[in-house]
Homo-oligomer: A and B are copies of this chain.
Amino acid sequence: MTNATIPTSTVTPPDILRCAYMEIVVTDLARSREFYVDILGLVVTEEDENSIYLRTLEEFIHHNLVLRQGPVAAVAAFAFRVRSPEDVDLAEAYYEELGCRTERRRDGFVNGVGDSVRVTDPLGFPYEFFYQVDHVERLAWHYELYGPGALVRLDHFNQVTPDVPRGRKYLEDLGFRVTEDIQDEDGVTYAAWLRRKDTVHDTALTGGDGPRMHHIAFSTHEKHNILSICDKLGALRKSDLIERGPGRHGVSNAFYLYILDPDGHRVEIYTQDYYTGDPDNPVVTWDVHDNQRRDWWGNPVVPSWYTEASLVLDLDGNPQPVVKREDPTEMAVTVGADGFSYTRKDDIEHGFKLGHTL
């Protein structure tokens, strides 16, 4: 991996529909099952002693999340569904021209998914592209299965990468469109949100040491669903799994919560962003010093949210080395002695809102 600009492939990029599933390695499958199934209520499509295939209540493809038992907690694949079988060919050719390692499996890498290609992309992430997939029952109408915090869709991925503009250019070439980003007055980009489906994002790039996985996000229908997950974690005396939130995002305008699975993989619960499907959908750029950019209510972002993330694997299953971000970090420029934030741009006083220093 190099920080040189990623070239534009001459191959037509695959027509990506949406983020479809993530495969993660967990170190204690039973504990992870308790988290994702018993607490969060994801639906088990199938499972065996080494893996569990999970989906959301409105999903009709085989799974949105694969848990695989393994020695090191990490992400094995960020999988995107493409529009047709031919798009898998395009994906393979596209990345081959970029000089990336690719691996094609006609029978898929995981259960329920057919012909697929996995690549180590120019940013070091394991991306998968597939079209063929088993259909399973869309459980949307099965309200007898809904808990108070019912997860109804996979919404997006979020990836940590040192050089956001470099990654953004690569993803735009691949067909993604930016909907929002965070910059400073010097033009440094701290994060960018990119979409294929008609929401704010299918994936986002968060500036930091990478490649790492920042989070995977599932949707609920309403805000109270998210609050009920917090209430339940409290009741189970697992409130320390709540890392940040709940709150209202500035970016995306969605309501959010970040929690941590038993391996520290970060999961966002998310609801109610806006339609972005028009080609001239206005891009929203946030000032990194705007204290409402990441939490519209000005509640502080906890440091771990900036610094912690999950390793990602190469195609042999080995963790990718993590490269340091060289640009300023969002935490450094917005918090503490060197950084500042504002609530009202023209106010003389900077800093966090009243009371938020311990």
Interface residues of chain A, those whose CB is within 8 Å of chain B, are: 17-18, 58, 60-61, 81, 83-84, 135, 138, 140-148, 150, 152-153, 197-198, 221-224, 227-228, 230-240, 242-244, 246, 248, 250, 253, 255, 260, 272, 274-275, 277-282, 291-292, 296-300, 302-305, 308, 335-336, 343-344, 353-358
Contacts and interface: CB of A to CB of B under 8 A. Distances in A.
B198 A60 contact: no
A292 B236 CA distance: 11
Contacts of A357: 303, 358
A227 B255 contact: yes
Contacts of A246: 246
A327 to B, nearest CB: 21
A258 to B, nearest CB: 9
Contacts of A354: 240, 243, 260, 302, 304
Contacts of A223: 222-224, 227
Copies in the complex: 4
16 contacts: A60-B282, A143-B235, A146-B228, A147-B147, A153-B274, A222-B222, A222-B272, A227-B248, A230-B248, A230-B297, A234-B298, A237-B292, A240-B343, A240-B354, A302-B356, A304-B354
Nearest to A222: B222
Contact of A140 (B81, B135, B253, B279): B253
